[in-house]
Structure 1
């Protein structure tokens, strides 16, 4: 491939996420002055035949304050008992060099909405152990109320404890199967 040739497709074949080198996280403005973030410990992602799919186990949510984990699993937030998984399935993937846009359906708490993940993608490389790998680093901003995640409280000086916009980030190291 020449230095000016652009790759406009995602790698062919089946690629599975490497849990050691990958993460799915979320971040939301909290108390109007800081960012609250968390991630999921149990999840999967797969790129197969140009389609990205994934899911996360809601009961595996991790945050700095363990006292909040239980609240995040209630109907106020993820409702883990009724909706144990978050799910994503791409409907299209567009690539321009190292930039990528992945449109797809995101399901949280039983509600499915179309989202667009944007970010970067690497070309396949052979790692130090002989495995073929590709990297994706993408994110989207969703409105949590659109997915029925509506808990909030007012602050004494005005405003709300939690913003509506939540940034969801997927940093994926995918290994060819």
Structure 2
């Protein structure tokens, strides 16, 4: 039996996490980008299926390594970041268990909400040199721009369009216990449970 996430309520450690995306450009290459500001909470229940995820992304924090392209993405042509500054993902259910599971949820982009499935891999837990307990997850999904009303494009002379419709989203997330949950979360670690069992 594989390892399972330690129950508790956790917050995303933004400095050790990344939300990135890939989209096909001109039909011949891929453009990669990420969001520099995002956060949220993950609640791991004893019964994994009862767990919950709530994440908010600042759409204006997009970073593709090209200031002109980033400015275009923030504009009304794409996601109008000035008037619609946040995107959200809120889970509606969890299937599977152990190290691999699926998180079903509602993704809201530009005030349009669509169901999305995140394929999640649990990467394990550790306590860092500063005594902070951490969990790690990787997740991926694919969405259609058109599903969220993001229809801007430009035709190519040779046929086709400039920007692909399918967007691959990849998440690398580290979470730490919410401050008020730290003691309880640490007490729930396998090491702490084993120590308690030895003392019993």
| TM-score, length-scaled by structure 2 | 0.81
The runs of 5 or more residues in structure 2 that have no matched partner are 45-50, 179-200
- Structure having the higher strand fraction is 1
CA deviations 1:41-62 (Å, max 9, x no partner) are 1110210252111111111111
| Larger Rg belongs to | 2
Runs of 4+ aligned residues of structure 1 deviating over 4 Å after TM superposition are none
* 1:45–1:95 CA distance, 2 compared to 1 (3 A): farther
Q: CA deviation at 1:103?
A: 0.6
Structure 2 residue aligned with 1:34: 29
143-152 or 16-25, larger mean C-alpha shift: 16-25
Q: CA deviation at 1:116?
A: 0.3
After TM superposition, list the pairs within 5 Å mapping 1:77-88 onto structure 2: 77-88=78-89
Structure 2 residue aligned with 1:151: 152
Partner of 2:71: helix, strand, or coil?
helix
CA deviations 1:87-145 (Å, max 9, x no partner) are 00011123433112111000001100000010311333222222111111001100001
The answer to whether residue 125 in structure 2 is matched with residue 130 in structure 1 is: no
- Structure having the higher helix fraction is 2
Structure 1 residue aligned with 2:73: 72
Q: CA deviation at 1:82?
A: 2.3
Pick from 45, 53, 64: which aligns with 2:40? Answer: 45
The runs of 5 or more residues in structure 1 that have no matched partner are none
1:7–1:96 contact (8 Å) kept in structure 2: no
| TM-score, length-scaled by structure 1 | 0.91
Structure 1 residue aligned with 2:90: 89
